[in-house]
Amino acid sequence: MTAARPASYFSPRRLGHVNLWVDDIPTSERFYSDVCGLRVEFSEPELIATFLGTGHTPHDLGMIQKTNGVDRYGKDGLLQLPGTIGLHAGLNHLAWELENEADLVAAFRRLKDDGVPTDITVDHQVAHSVYMFDPDGNYNEFYCDTVKDWRQVLSGPMALLTTHWDPLSAEGFTEGRYDTEPVLRTNAAAPMHPWRITHAVLETARIEEMTRFYTEIGGLHVVAREEGVVYLGATQSQYDHHLVLVPSNSARYHHASFQLADEATLDAAIAGLQSQGVAIARQVDLPWKRSIFLRDPDGLVSEWYVKRPAPRALSALGAVDLVEAA
């Protein structure tokens, strides 16, 4: 008798980070650090990449300068960034943190056995990763941390980090090597002081197909469905959800959402942004959340929000856009 397949392949703990293609690294780095308060943890100058965060993981936000049609290589001759990708500013990938290498290796082997296509598999020195596309073409990284004290490895400008990794020959360690007591730090001089990245929002014309991918392949579970919007969660119950799928006529990455500690922190951020002349693209004030939306130098949107105790009610939005209210 053939053994029954698990309900899903991967089983993520949380959304670890979002990675963006940007037009100019120094310009985007200044925005996300000096305005948004994310701290630059490390960079890869040869890759033209910067990684910023709050301290929960090696980075909440990664940024890579557009390839402009030129290949970029990692260590040992690995073609890490083909010139055929990264031609426009926008989403590079969503990254999903798994419990350990054993879970990552087992999922990859099941995918191979079942003929499910994946893309590249790599060793980032502090993480092992499997990359694959969702039905809309959004790129996803499923990874496990390999170094618990990542700040001992990553700091400032780094030589090339990424090389080949073969999940089929990996031993598959079973302990979780993520930091359970992270030291949280933001840019004290910035008007914004985020706590953590919590979720990303994708627009799609294929809600059901995308939901199947992120549940059956990605291992997320449906937290709620409202007004056609699907909320998906991972295993970490400290987060309400990690991905939101919003119905639309076309497929598009809309934004990543960063949570602030409380309303006073948000009030201080708004005052600081206004005093610096930084435009706030949108303010949303709802019973279940209050947030501001900013546009980065490439026009990409990010949300900075605080939770409120009232239940979500997307059927009573008034003038608020569905994708912003979600």
Going by C-alpha positions, the residue among 129, 122, 157 that lies closest to residue 51 is 157
pLDDT at position 54 is: 98
Residue 67 inside a domain? The answer is yes
Question: Which residue type, as a one-letter code, is found at position 34?
Answer: D
For residues 193-214, b (16+ Cβ closer than 10 Å) or e, as one string? bbbbbbbbbbbbebbeebbebb
Could you identify the residue written with the tokens 């201080």? 268
- 209, 139 in Cβ contact below 8 A? no
Torsion of the alpha carbons at 93, 97, 103 and 108, rounded to the nearest 10? 0
Quote the CA–CA distance of 326 and 296 in Å, as a whole number: 20
**CA 131, CA 301: separation in Å to the nearest integer?**
24
Q: List the one residue out of 88, 90, 51, 55 whose CA is nearest residue 69.
A: 88
The verdict on 223 and 151 lying in the same domain is no
Query: Is 60 exceeded by the pLDDT of residue 190?
Result: yes
Least confident range of 1-5, 18-22, 242-246: 1-5
Residue 8: inside a domain, yes or no?
Answer: no
Q: Which of 119, 147, 164 represents a domain boundary (last residue)?
A: 164
24 with 160, same domain: the answer is: yes
DSSP 42: E
Tell whether 43 and 147 lie within a shared domain. yes
Which residues face 197 on adjacent strands?
258
Position 2 in a domain: no
Does 3 fall in a domain? Answer: no
- Is 277 a domain residue? yes
pTM confidence score: 0.96
Are 277 and 152 in a shared domain? Answer: no
CA 4 to each of CA 107, 168, 214, 216: distance values in angstroms, whole numbers, following the listed order: 14, 21, 20, 14
Are 103 and 218 part of one and the same domain? no
Asked if 211 and 119 sit in the same domain, the reply is no
- Give pLDDT, residue 1: 32
Q: Is-contact 92 76, C-beta < 8 A?
A: no
Count of domains observed in the chain: 2
CATH at 88: 3.10.180.10
Q: Do residues 204 and 153 share a domain?
A: no
67: number of Cβ within 10 Å: 17
| 242, amino acid identity | H
Residue range 115-126, pLDDT digits in tens: 999 999 999 999
Query: Measuring CA to CA, how many Å separate 307 from each of 177, 244, 263?
Result: 29, 16, 9
Q: Is residue 177 part of a domain?
A: no
Residue 133 inside a domain? The answer is yes
pLDDT at residue 6, as a whole number: 54
Query: How does pLDDT run across 63-98, given as a tens digit for each residue?
Result: 999 999 999 999 999 999 999 999 999 999 999 999
List residues bridging with 132 in a β-sheet. 140
Count of alpha carbons within 13 angstroms of residue 239, beta-carbon side: 26
Residue 127 is part of which domain span? 14-164
The residues, ordered by sequence, that sit 6+ positions from 188 with a Cβ below 8 Å of its Cβ are none
**Residue 30 phi, psi dihedral angles, 5° rounding:** -60, -40
Same domain, 244 and 156: no
Query: Using one digit for the tens of pLDDT, what is the confidence trace for 127-179?
Result: 999 999 999 999 999 999 999 999 999 999 999 999 999 999 998 999 999 99
Asked if residue 176 belongs to a domain, the reply is no
Bridge partners (DSSP) of residue 76 are: none
Same domain, 28 and 159: yes
Q: What is the pLDDT of residues 4-48, one digit of tens each?
A: 445 799 999 999 999 999 999 999 999 999 999 999 999 999 999
Single out the residue in 141, 164, 187 at which a domain terminates. 164
Going from the C-alpha of 85 to that of each of 65, 66, 89, 203, 251, the distances in angstroms are 11, 8, 11, 21, 17
Tell me if 201 sits within 8 A of 254, measured CB to CB: yes
Residues 261, 160 share a domain: no
Other CB atoms within 10 Å distance of the CB of residue 269: 25
pLDDT of residue 4: 44
Question: Containing H/E element for 209?
Answer: helix 207-212
Question: How sure is the predictor about 199, in pLDDT bands with cuts at 50, 70 and 90?
Answer: very high
Residues 206 and 78 in one domain: no
Residues 146 and 241 in one domain: no
* Residue 70 contacts residue 39 (beta carbons within 8 Å): no
